[in-house]
Chain A
């Protein structure tokens, strides 16, 4: 195990060193008097590329620092006030599904591009860090709570010593699952700012946009490689250390948890009136905002309806793909499942969405959206290790000589249902940001997007129609919130109750 870790670390460091040597060649090659033809390759001449890389690096660092500071501040304040925790909890459920990319223009009024990107990217990361801790109270074993009270720990001490450690595994997983979304917003914001103002430098996302505009495939690949390097570096330096300590804090298999009722999805979603009320509120706010804007409401609603079709289509396609893969690999060993889970997760953080400008029609858009979000399904399908009970059920089905399609229909799919439901929920979170980005990217490159919402947003950003921008924000938030909490959560809850094999 140590050897494997050493090998991986060495591989990463070696790759990083090669990239640094390669991309800094324009500086050291002349000093060493090396071969001129190499020196004239575009690869070594791009000062813009280096500056873009530096900007992105600074933005990533500032985002992560901002996230860390905000989280610590929220925890500090929450430790003292139960009321604040309850308020923040409600706020986080909304903030977690707001399509932040729509705020690019509005935030540009207050912040410069650097802080704009940092704030946009850090927003949901903060939500994902904080939400598990704020929601952990019902999952705290009553005995531990009683024990803490018996030791006369103050409420603040109980928060730091009990709430946060118990929430740690959920927080670490939440952050890891949020990283694909983080990069979508980070690079998407840079790309968008570069589109709005090509004269200025906006990091690697902007560099990618410029290369696309100049039909520069080498530059495009260069930028993509640099982005991959960033992603791998952040994963290795910031995210992986979180996972090393999960085992210490994981109490899910502890006997202490026997008194904790597994609330599943119901508690997180609130009552149907609350959910419906918030959805209607955002719809109302969007109507109010559009009334101050230039767009006509029917056009916007039609675009929204098209967006819903795209939303359903991409989720359905990814769901279908992983139903097949999940069914085919349902009996695989723990080792295979671990590797598959890791691979699925890696595939989800690849910035595949940067290929949207190359697309020309709706079908391709649905396909690429499905490819972008499918990683969440994979991570869910392979979430559990090899399960003897599940394998024995399939074995019994074979021995009963059930027809192949019956085994799929009656055994495999029901066994997979809870994982697929969870995957659908996870995949749906970044989908509206992706839809808007896809629309904007395809519109800017002359493609025909499935939904016009992105196109409308892009024209509003260019023309500075803030009312319409806020209108689109509220409309898409209403869609996102309503679909998530009025459709997906109840569906997942039902599937979880009906088909779960484990408590």
Chain B
């Protein structure tokens, strides 16, 4: 198969200040071959969206080159690339038909040709009857279907899909996925040659893609390249399929960066490395402490007795596996549980937590947070050292923004405050935007 698009040693960075950039992806090289669906699989923050922006020409890498075929890609080449975003991003004041037609606005086609193309794509994407509806009148699935139609109406050679099914409800997403695979397999989207799907859902990647690139985070790099040995249509319930998904899970959980950070202890033989790590804060997910505690309690219940298979647990809790995964990782970070071969297992600390009363749990959580999260250690140290035991939250945000984007910094601080409040580490005055020690009588 010939290369359609190739990235060569591409590095992308987000500008923090004049002197500082945060590297999002580093020296990434891969190619998109004609006739394949390529998957970019990784967690949030692994640079998938940044890579898609580079591949669509919406952004330029700070280093590296992009090739279309065997020559450097030009603006004209990027016009043969369409991108579908996570949210449908339809223009709310335009009808479905008008939204699709808008994609042809920049083209040199005459009105008749545009109408013809729009009518054709509406038909093949099953949007008949919805042409005059506004996006607010439709379900999210239909809106995303329209977004796909809008991408395909331009007759691109390459379509980039940035987690297009993430915000859809389960059945709708499944339906849309199936339709898309069907259209691809039957070659009804000509002259479309390739698709690239960015996702953090392992099953979705295995279901749709011919080849998967597994990305690590901070900065994003390719960890593994996994060819998918199944032909379309694929069956989720197939034993080989499930075994393959488990394998990919193992690969993903094996290289979780939070594990290596939590493992750094006072006995580390590399104190200079530990010093660097203490200054590098990880982005915390937007997770409620109550949900984490709830998960620990569920794991510690008699029915599970401290151990559960992740997919089964997800089903039991009516969550998606991809929602459960970050919870498991966080519990692993706090040493309340560990992830092993697709299972989640309560640690001894976790068991004590389950059996303890409110005060005991608070103490355990406090110890766990201070041990696992350098950010909370640093904040607590600052508060202890200051005579008035307060510090401006803006100061902490500035520290965080040295190593992560503004949005992640804010999210991390919000999460840290919420967790610290639970554990009684410190509190936060929103009006004054200051962190302060609670009265510890």
A interface residues with partner B (beta carbon < 8 Å): 141, 143-144, 146-147, 149-154, 157, 161-162, 165, 248-249, 251, 254-256, 498
Contacts and interface: CB of A to CB of B under 8 A. Distances in A.
Given A143-B89, A144-B91, A152-B79, 4 more contacts: A146-B85, A151-B106, A248-B93, A256-B92
B171 to A, nearest CB: 20
A141 B102 CA distance: 17
B103 interface: yes
A245 B154 CA distance: 30
Contacts of B6: none
Interface of B: 56, 58, 79, 82-83, 85, 87, 89-93, 102-103, 105-106, 134, 136, 150, 154, 431
A501 to B, nearest CB: 14
B102 A151 contact: yes
A279 B115 CA distance: 55
- Going nearest first, the 9 A-B pairs with the smallest beta carbon separation are A147-B89, A143-B89, A152-B106, A150-B83, A249-B93, A151-B103, A248-B93, A165-B93, A251-B92
29 contacts: A141-B89, A143-B85, A144-B89, A144-B91, A146-B85, A146-B89, A147-B90, A149-B58, A150-B56, A150-B58, A150-B85, A151-B102, A151-B103, A151-B154, A152-B79, A152-B106, A153-B102, A153-B105, A153-B106, A157-B105, A161-B91, A161-B102, A162-B91, A165-B93, A248-B93, A249-B93, A251-B92, A254-B136, A256-B87
A364 B159 CA distance: 71
Residue among A146, A147, A248, A256 with most chain B CB within 10 A = A147
Q: Decide if the interface of chain B is mainly helix, strand, loop or mixed.
A: loop
Nearest to B134: A248
B438 to A, nearest CB: 24
Contacts of B106: 151-154, 157
A322 to B, nearest CB: 26
Nearest to B53: A146
Residue among A152, A251, A254, A256 with most chain B CB within 10 A = A152
Contacts of A150: 56, 58, 82-83, 85
Contacts of B150: 151
Given A144-B91, A256-B92, A151 B58 contact: no
A495 to B, nearest CB: 13
Nearest to A145: B89
Contacts of B89: 141, 143-144, 146-147, 256
Contact of A254 (B83, B92, B103, B431): B92
A256 B58 CA distance: 20
A266 B70 CA distance: 50
Nearest to A249: B93
B267 to A, nearest CB: 44
A306 B351 CA distance: 76
Contact of B87 (A149, A152, A161, A255): A255
A144 B93 CA distance: 12
B85 A147 contact: yes
A255 B150 CA distance: 20
Nearest to A253: B136
Nearest to B136: A254
Given A146-B58, A150-B82, A165 B105 contact: no
